Chain A
Amino acid sequence: LAKTTQPISMDSYEGQEVNITCSHNNIATNDYITWYQQFPSQGPRFIIQGYKTKVTNEVASLFIPADRKSSTLSLPRVSLSDTAVYYCLVGERDDKIIFGKGTRLHILP
């Protein structure tokens, strides 16, 4: 399993774009990169998954450079309701995954 490193916490303001970067230097060829979001008192929610380059959906964008040793989750124009813990996970589609500590994102008014 590839080890991931992400900031413990981040603060931002409403209306800003937020970028959370995850490092995964030992990512393997068959590994995918997946991000989850967890609000207080709720289970994690799948946000986005990618393998290379850029993936975009209605919630976020995921940027993956050519060497795939890092990835950046981009949240456009955040609101107070985006305050949550964001987890970066790396692994094969059918391999065990491990949730780390995640990044606590706090959006300020």
Chain B
Amino acid sequence: DAGVIQSPRHEVTEMGQEVTLRCKPISGHNSLFWYRQTMMRGLELLIYFNNNVPIDDSGMPEDRFSAKMPNASFSTLKIQPSEPRDSAVYFCASSLRGVHEQYFGPGTRLTVT
């Protein structure tokens, strides 16, 4: 079992650029979650999908953030335009048995300069 796969693992970009983070959930899982983690704010849920449909996006900070899940095996989180305050580690997680038993990917460390 490959687990949740995220790419890229590291991303450094300049302010104003578009950033796209990618996630492949565990095969067969029907829920997918995007989180952001910083020292100041801890681990924050941005959005989660169930059967490819967004269920709760109340954690998405602003219109610069968007997420899609075109099929059961792929999701993207896009930031456009990026800002230095978006610098964080972004995690993707998937689940088969409800929101409480999630399996996390290795994360993408984003640095916006």
Residue positions of A touching B, CB distance < 8 A: 32, 34, 41-46, 49, 87, 89, 91, 93-102
Do A93 and B99 touch (CB < 8 A)? Answer: yes
Q: In the assembled complex, which residues on chain A have CB atoms less than 8 Å from the CB atom of B48?
A: 96
CA distance A45 to B97 in the complex (A): 15
- In the bound assembly, the distance between CA atoms of A99 and B4 in angstroms comes to 19
The A interface is mostly helix, strand or loop, or mixed, namely loop
The number of residue pairs between A and B whose CB atoms lie closer than 8 Å in the complex comes to 53
What is the distance, in angstroms, from B48's C-beta to the closest C-beta of chain A? Answer: 8
Interface string of B66-105 (1 = CB under 8 A from A): 0000000000000000000000000101000111111111
Would A100 and B99 count as touching, CB distance under 8 A? no
User: Judging by beta carbons under 8 Å apart, are B104 and A99 in contact?
Assistant: no
| Contact in complex: A32, B56 (CB < 8 Å) | no
Contact in complex: B100, A96 (CB < 8 Å) = no
Chain A proximity of B52: nearest CB distance (Å)? 16
Contacts of A101 in B (CB 8 A): 42
The answer, yes or no, to whether B107 is at the interface (CB within 8 Å) is: yes
- For the complex, what is the distance from the CA of A87 to the CA of B93, rounded to whole Å? 16
Decide: A91 near B93, CB < 8 A? Known: A42-B106, A42-B107, A99-B42: no
